[in-house]
Structure 1
Amino acid sequence: MPEKTRRRKKKKKWPKVVGIVILLLLIAGGTYLYSVYHSLTAAVETMHTPIDREKSDKRTEKIALSKKEPFSILMLGVDERKGDKGRSDTMIVLAVNPEKNSVKMLSIPRDTRTEIVGNDTEDKINHAYAFGGIEMSMDTVENFLDIPLDYYMQINMEGFKDIVDAVGGVTVNNDLDFTYEGDHFPKGDITLSGEKALKYSRMRYEDPRGDFGRQLRQRQIIQQVINEGASVSTLTNYGGIFDALSKNVKTNITFNEMVDIQQNYKSAANTVDQMTIKENGTKINGIYYGVVNEDEKQRVQNEMKTQLELNQ
């Protein structure tokens, strides 16, 4: 066969080869995307836990996420031990505003004294969960902050370490040198596994700031988990991440709502403003409480209402 004819045939073969390779890549990519989608929907279905709670009188109409309306989430970190319903060890309220491109992250100290709505008593705010679960916690925090809570997210703190490990660990900037339960946490940037992250976020008695220092560390961990979970490198371990979430997280946010949040609110996560509440520690009948004066409560309420674009 003449050399010229052989070269012509080779040229004709290359487009076919390239076409087959592209087709195989598309099929592989489609299979991968389908696998991710299937795993995600299965995880969300497991996490989705509707609650039996009457509509809040602080929100007359349901939030329209498709219209980019500001919304709020109550995050509860719950220590659930065998034979004990548990208490909400961590209470964080997120107020998300896409127009402001920001999130307000408010930590509520566990010992805050307030009215426990539905239990006709004043007690530590974290006791609301023990008395009436998610519903009573939401009602109590709504009353305390005078804002509507649109969603909740409950995290099992014992299993939180699995979530941290699933995203490959987290790196935080530690401002306090301390040792807790056999592990040393030096000052500066430190990378934490799930087990160490859990210890890092739980210590409070060795911190001169008490519960406020612990809240700071908890917010650091949560923010870094969100950052790591959103990074491209974690896509290779999507199965482990979804599995950890499905086993340790409960929420009333539906799959479609999660899609809306991803599409319409993603940029808001770029700016997270961490808020704290100033309290005066005191003992009442021999029990320690954190008491928030009216001026401080009003300040916090106004800031959250502004973020959610509510009338004050």
Structure 2
Amino acid sequence: MEETMMTKRPKSLRRTKRTKKKRALRFLLLTMMLTFVAVILYGVSLFSKTQVAVDRAYEALDGRPTTINGKKIEPAKDNISILLLGVDDSEARGQEEASRTDAMLVATFNPKERDVQLLSIPRDSYVYIPEVGREDKITHAYAFGGVKAAVEAVEGTLDIPIHYYMEMNFDGFIGVVDALGGIDVEVPYERIEKDEKDANAIHLMPGEQTLDGRHALALARTRKLDSDVERGKRQQMIIQAMLDKASSIQSIGKYGAIIDEVGHNMKTNMTLNEMFGLLEYTKKGMPHVEMLTLDGTDDWSSGIYYYMLDEESVADVRYRLKKQLGLLSDSSRSQLSTNEVSNPMNDSPYGERSIYN
């Protein structure tokens, strides 16, 4: 009898072990299934949220090119340009004067080369503004006629078409940076800066650090200790830091909050499908981003500060942008004459005008 009992125990133990393994396997499969479902639901939720946000942000702009070589523009396949506008529409600004662009950047995309160029335009650049038919600071174009006037001024100065625009106010910028959990940048110097309420609210300290939205905005806006060009470089640095943070795995769970901020504080003439086209650039990792600047000189001769663009620098930037957009060949650089450099309105729909006169 004892032998019989002894021989049955191992079988019972084996059944118990098999049962435990099956339970563990079922638990693992259930966990994987629930995780997969959660990811799908999160993706659907994000898509729905994104659709609502983009619909809210969409604002068409008359007169923009909608075709390239007779075909509808597809950002995933075509070379395109986007004007990025950072607008100060705070209550303090609104009480005193019309909104102005505090940051103007042009991004050009070349899907074949997987290249992105990012040009920062100094806000005090003295250029011809078609909206009013005279020269002024390019930052004033937006105040004169909104996005349309800003786009026309940029097109005339750079002699390239602008296909899309994205306008973001300061609240949106602060909200996106905060939603990302801050951005990692190097602050070049100590600086006391204002925010929308207090003239001494922001205290920037030098060195590498993580900045929240308010401090990142202060760093992007300040120019008292250097120049408009250096401020443009800082803005490019901050955009790169935001892209790096947004593309990290740790930020995936923050996309919902980012979409909310963008939807409430951005305007654009890009549709959701067109935006998805830009995701092609990230499928093989982040694309190469080349930073461009416009050289020039400070001018106080009129009693008002202007940034006078250097004609050779303008010609060089125009060439780079046109090449990126596929508007000229490598051999075309030698054909750029001094006349073309000083007349950015050549071959544009706004007539022949110099950037200065």
TM over 0.5: yes
Q: Provide the rounded CA distance (Å) in 1 between the counterparts of 2:66 and 2:136.
A: 22
1:76 matched to 2:85? The reply is yes
1:310 matched to 2:327? The reply is yes
Match of 2:110 in 1: 97
Q: How does 1:179-258 map to 2 (within 5 A)?
A: 179-181=192-194, 182=200, 183-205=202-224, 207=225, 209-258=226-275
Task: Provide structure 1 residue ranges, at least 5 long, that are not aligned to the other structure.
Answer: none
User: CA distance change for structure 1 residues 215 and 16 in 2, over 3 Å: closer, same or farther?
Assistant: closer
1:100 alignment partner, SS class = coil
2:305 alignment partner, SS class = strand
8 A Cα contact 1:77 1:89, kept in partner:
yes
1:11 matched to 2:18? The reply is yes
Q: Provide the rounded CA distance (Å) in 2 between the counterparts of 1:18 and 1:57.
A: 51
Residue of 131, 146, 158 corresponding to 2:144: 131
1:42 matched to 2:52? The reply is yes
Q: Provide the rounded CA distance (Å) in 1 between the counterparts of 2:290 and 2:156.
A: 22
User: CA distance change for structure 1 residues 114 and 61 in 2, over 3 Å: closer, same or farther?
Assistant: farther
Match of 2:186 in 1: 173
User: CA distance change for structure 1 residues 77 and 5 in 2, over 3 Å: closer, same or farther?
Assistant: same
8 A Cα contact 1:97 1:268, kept in partner:
no
Q: Provide the rounded CA distance (Å) in 2 between the counterparts of 1:218 and 1:240.
A: 22
The amino acid that maps onto 1:277 is: L
How far apart are 1:270 and its partner, in Å? 3.4
How far apart are 1:269 and its partner, in Å? 4.3
Q: Provide the rounded CA distance (Å) in 2 between the counterparts of 1:242 and 1:254.
A: 14
Deviation per residue, 1:209-247 (Å, 9 max, x gap): 321222122222121112111211112222211111112
Match of 1:153 in 2: 166
Q: TM-score, normalised by structure 2?
A: 0.78
Deviation per residue, 1:253-286 (Å, 9 max, x gap): 1111111110246558432221111112223543
Q: Provide the rounded CA distance (Å) in 1 between the counterparts of 2:148 and 2:157.
A: 14
The amino acid that maps onto 1:226 is: L
User: CA distance change for structure 1 residues 54 and 148 in 2, over 3 Å: closer, same or farther?
Assistant: closer
User: CA distance change for structure 1 residues 57 and 293 in 2, over 3 Å: closer, same or farther?
Assistant: farther
Match of 2:43 in 1: 33
How far apart are 1:10 and its partner, in Å? 6.3
Q: Provide the rounded CA distance (Å) in 2 between the counterparts of 1:118 and 1:266.
A: 40
How far apart are 1:287 and its partner, in Å? 2.0
The amino acid that maps onto 2:32 is: I
The alignment's C-alpha RMSD in Å is: 2.6
The percentage of aligned residue pairs carrying the same residue is 35
Residue of 265, 268, 288 corresponding to 1:271: 288
User: CA distance change for structure 1 residues 256 and 95 in 2, over 3 Å: closer, same or farther?
Assistant: same
1:23 matched to 2:33? The reply is yes
Q: TM-score, normalised by structure 1?
A: 0.88
Larger CA deviation: 94-103 vs 53-62:
53-62
8 A Cα contact 2:61 2:148, kept in partner:
yes
The amino acid that maps onto 1:120 is: G
8 A Cα contact 1:58 1:147, kept in partner:
no
Task: Provide structure 2 residue ranges, at least 5 long, that are not aligned to the other structure.
Answer: 195-199, 333-357
